[in-house]
Amino acid sequence: MILDVYIVETQNGGDAVLQGRDFLKVSGWENMIYLAMFGGNVEQSTESRNESEQAFDWWANQLLMPDQPEIQFNSETEHRLMNVALNSAGRLLVEQSINKDLEFMKAFAEIRIETAITGPNRLEIRIYVKEPDQLQEQIYIYLWDGLSQSLALVSNNQNLGGDFNIDYNFDFNS
C-alpha cells in the first residue's frame, strides 16, 4: 500500500495538508503523479554540468538519483503547458510531455492518458493508473487553466485518510 502525506497544488509548488493537528494522508498515486508533472523543475531538465555552474532543475535529482536520469523529475508537463498554445497541436505536445514525465511509473503500473480542450485556455488531463494485479483502474483528473496558469485536481479522492499513524506520533501536542 502506498502511504504519503497528502500534497495539494497551492500555486507555489504544493503544500502538505493538515486536518486538525495531524497531516492528512493519502494512499493513492496522487502525489507521485503531481510531483512528476509539476514538481517545480520548470526552468530546465537535469543535465550534466560543471560543479561551478548553477543548476535550475529539481534539487533532489542530483542528490537522490544522480546516475538515474530515467527516474529524475523534470516536470516537462508544467513547462510545456506554460509555453504552448492550447490548440489541437499543443494538446498533443502536452500529452507527449505527460507520457515522458510518467514514464518511470510504467515499470510498476499501466498508465493511460487522455487530454481534452474543454474551453478557451482550459485543458482537462485524465490519467488512468492500473496496477498489474488489480482489476480496476484509478483515475486522476486535472484541469489546467492556461489564462491563470493554474492547476486543479478535480477528481474525487477516495484515498484520503485521517491520522498519519504508522509508527510515529504526529499529533504535534505543545
Write out pLDDT tens, residues 140-155.
Answer: 999 999 888 888 877 6
Q: Considering the chain, what is the average pLDDT of its residues?
A: 77
Q: What is the pLDDT of residue 43?
A: 56
In the predicted model, what is the mean pLDDT of residues 36-41? 74
In the predicted model, what is the mean pLDDT of residues 86-115? 93
Report which DSSP code applies to 34. Answer: H
The C-alpha atoms of residue 171 and residue 164 are separated, in whole angstroms, by 9
pLDDT, tens digit (0-9, with 9 covering 90-100), for 94-107? 999 999 999 988 98
Domains, the chain, in order of start with CATH, read 4-41+68-161 (3.10.450)
The type of residue at 45 is: S
Contact 153, 8 (CB under 8 A): yes
The C-alpha atoms of residue 17 and residue 9 are separated, in whole angstroms, by 10
> In the predicted model, is pLDDT for residue 6 greater than 80?
no
In the predicted model, what is the mean pLDDT of residues 7-16? 69
pTM score > 0.85 for this model? no
The C-alpha atoms of residue 33 and residue 105 are separated, in whole angstroms, by 9
